[in-house]
């Protein structure tokens, strides 16, 4: 059996006594595209932040390519990894934030090049060449020297994606990649995600775009109240949902012509 790109076991997170993640289990195979859907406030974004240890989980385990990330078990004792150990593995997981988090004082080119130089210690000349190639590939040849405030929402989204790709991660997490975009730009960014998926990149995408989830994802995971309650092949999940909470959710967000009722 091949080692999954991401393995999540019993991941739990509480905020002031309120359980945001309730023993989450999820595997993502290498090269697989998984979309994570569910109602607002069900824990999707919290899960992504815990997977990158931007939020420290209270319990559970994460493995990236078979390597423990954050916690490990030695004998029967759970050990928290050191900050250095966590930071060494974190670049293997790319995260495109919902609010993008571009550095406002840096150009598009520098936003993409900074991470590989500072975090990975790569040589500036090679990194800059790679950054230029990535930006050109994403249609930003003429925007490389512009700062984020000079770019459109779709352009900023593409810079954020290029910045993540420049780190050469083993998998990429996307947190609502179209939520901050004008409606006419949504299709543009979804098309870009399709192109990235076609390269074989492992992806976990939090999205409300059910059409994208059904058309691009290999698998859909439905989350509610901090738990993943149903997962399966994308079309099977959308066409024949078994959990009543998923049926109710799809009944609210899908056109009735698709045959899903609450």
* H or E segment and range at residue 37: strand 33-37
Across 13-28, average pLDDT: 95
Q: Which pLDDT belongs to residue 9?
A: 96
Cα–Cα distances in angstroms (integers) from residue 21 to residues 12, 29, 60, 114, 122, in the given order: 5, 22, 10, 33, 36
Q: Given pLDDT bands bounded at 50, 70 and 90, which one contains residue 189?
A: confident
The tens digit of pLDDT for each residue in 212-251 reads 888 889 999 999 999 999 999 999 999 999 999 999 999 8
Rounded-to-integer distance, Cα 92 and Cα 193, Å? 19
Q: What is the dihedral sign for C-alpha 127, 98, 29, 19?
A: positive
Q: What is the pLDDT of residue 183?
A: 74
Backbone Cα Rg of the chain: 19
- Residue 193: the pLDDT is 87
Q: What are the pLDDT digits (tens) for 116-156? A: 999 999 999 999 999 999 999 888 999 999 999 999 888 88
Residue 185 has pLDDT above 90, yes or no: no
What is the pLDDT at residue 1?
62
Dihedral of CA atoms 226, 68, 31, 247 in degrees, nearest 10, equals -10
Model pLDDT for residues 155-176, shown as the tens digit of each residue: 888 899 999 999 999 999 999 8
Tokens (6 digits) for 119: 């975090």
* Count of C-beta atoms within a 10 Å radius of residue 71: 17
- β 227-233/219-224 pair status: antiparallel
pLDDT of residue 257: 35
**Calpha distance 21→7 (Å, rounded):** 16
Tell which CATH classification among 3.40.50.720, 3.40.50.300, 1.10.10.60, 3.40.140.10 matches the domain 6-257.
3.40.50.300
CB 161 within 8 Å of CB 192? yes
User: Could you tell me what percent of the chain has a pLDDT over 90?
Assistant: 69
Query: Over the chain, what is the mean pLDDT?
Result: 90
How far is residue 31's CA from residue 203's CA, in Å, rounded to a whole number? 8
DSSP-derived secondary structure letter, 70: S
Domain coordinates of the chain in residue numbers?
6-257
Please give the pLDDT value at position 261.
38
Q: What is the DSSP letter of 2?
A: P
Residue 97: predicted pLDDT? 84
Strand partners, 227: 224
pLDDT digits (tens, 9 = 90+) for 99-116: 778 999 999 999 999 999
Residues in the chain, overall count: 262
Name the helix (H) or strand (E) containing 71: strand 71-74
CA distance 192 to 124: 27
pLDDT on residue 184: 72
């Amino acid at each position: 059996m091949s080692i999954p790109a991401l393995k999540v076991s019993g991941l739990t997170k509480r905020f002031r006594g309120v359980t945001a993640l309730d023993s989450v289990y999820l595997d993502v195979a290498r090269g697989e595209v998984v979309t994570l859907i569910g109602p607002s406030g069900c824990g999707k974004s919290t899960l992504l932040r815990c997977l990158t240890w931007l939020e420290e989980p209270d319990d559970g385990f994460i493995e990236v390519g078979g390597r423990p990330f954050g916690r490990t078990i030695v004998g029967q004792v759970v050990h928290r990894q050191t900050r250095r150990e966590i930071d060494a593995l974190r670049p293997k997981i790319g995260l495109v934030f919902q609010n993008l988090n571009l550095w406002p004082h840096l150009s598009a080119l520098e936003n993409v090049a900074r991470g590989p130089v500072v975090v990975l210690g790569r040589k500036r000349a090679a990194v800059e060449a790679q950054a230029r190639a990535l930006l050109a590939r994403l249609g930003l040849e003429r925007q490389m020297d512009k700062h984020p405030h000079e770019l459109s929402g779709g352009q900023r989204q593409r810079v954020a994606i290029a910045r993540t790709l420049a780190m050469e991660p083993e998998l990429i997490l996307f947190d609502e990649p179209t939520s901050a975009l004008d409606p006419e730009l949504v299709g543009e960014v979804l098309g870009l995600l399709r192109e990235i998926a076609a390269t074989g990149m492992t992806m976990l995408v939090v999205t409300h775009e059910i059409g994208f989830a059904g058309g691009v994802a290999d698998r859909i995971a439905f989350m509610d109240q901090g738990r993943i309650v149903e997962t399966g092949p994308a079309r099977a999940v959308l066409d024949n949902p078994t959990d009543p909470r998923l049926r109710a959710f799809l009944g609210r967000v899908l056109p009735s012509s698709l045959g899903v009722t609450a």
